[in-house]
Structure 1
Amino acid sequence: MNGRALPRLALTAGEPAGIGPELLVRLAASSLAANFVAVTDKGLLERAAARCGTTIQLLDDDGSDSQHRAPGSLRVRHVPLAVAEQPGQPDPRNAQHVLATLAEAADGCMQDRYAAVVTAPLQKSSINDAGIAFSGHTEFFAMRSHAEVVMMLASPELRVALATTHLPLSAVPAAIQADSLERTLRIVHDELRDKFGLTQPRIAVLGLNPHAGENGHMGREEIDTIIPVLEQLRQQGMSLLGPLPADTAFVPAQRQHYDAVLAMYHDQALPVLKSEAFDRTVNLTLGLPFIRTSVDHGTALDLAGSGKADPSSLMAAARMALDLVARRHLSAAQR
Structure 2
Amino acid sequence: MTPRLALVPGEPGGIGPELCVRLAQQRRQDCTLLAFGDAATLGAAADALGLPLRLLVEHEVASQPGDLRLRPVPNAALNAFGKTDPRNARAVIDALTLAADACLRGELDGLVTGPVHKAAINAGGIAYSGTTELLADHAGRPVVMMLANDIVRVALATTHLPLRDVPDAITHAALAQVLRITHAALRRDFGIADPVIAVLGLNPHAGEAGLLGREEIEVIEPLLHALRADGMRLEGPLPADTAFLPQKLCGFDAVVAMYHDQGLPVLKYSGFEQAVNLTLGLPYPRVAVDHGTALDLAGKGVADPSSLFAAVATCARMAAQRTG
Band the TM-score falls in, shorter-chain normalisation: over 0.9
Uncovered stretches (5+) of structure 2, i.e. residues with no partner: none
Query: Paired residue for 1:142?
Result: 136
Query: After the TM superposition, which residues 65-104 of structure 1 pair with which residues of structure 2 at under 5 Å, given as runs?
Result: 69-104=63-98
Letter in 1 for 2:28: L
Query: After the TM superposition, which residues 1-335 of structure 1 pair with which residues of structure 2 at under 5 Å, given as runs?
Result: 3=1, 6-33=2-29, 34-62=31-59, 69-330=63-324
- Per-residue displacement from partner, 1:7-65 (whole Å, max 9, x unpaired)? 32111011111100000000011122232211001111000100111111111224x7x
Letter in 1 for 2:112: V
Helix, strand or coil for the counterpart of 2:190? coil
Query: TM-score if structure 2 supplies the norm length?
Result: 0.96
Deviation at 1:174, TM superposition (A): 1.4
User: Is the 2:284–2:319 Cα contact (8 Å) retained in structure 1?
Assistant: no
Letter in 2 for 1:45: L
Query: TM-score if structure 1 supplies the norm length?
Result: 0.93
User: Is the 1:178–1:229 Cα contact (8 Å) retained in structure 2?
Assistant: yes
Helix, strand or coil for the counterpart of 1:16? coil
- Per-residue displacement from partner, 1:156-178 (whole Å, max 9, x unpaired)? 12111011112222221111111
1:205, 1:246 → 2: CA distance?
Answer: 9
Query: Paired residue for 1:333?
Result: none
Helix, strand or coil for the counterpart of 2:243? coil
2:310, 2:293 → 1: CA distance?
Answer: 17
1:169, 1:224 → 2: CA distance?
Answer: 19
- Per-residue displacement from partner, 1:224-281 (whole Å, max 9, x unpaired)? 1111111110111111011111111100121122110000111111111111111111
2:205, 2:127 → 1: CA distance?
Answer: 36
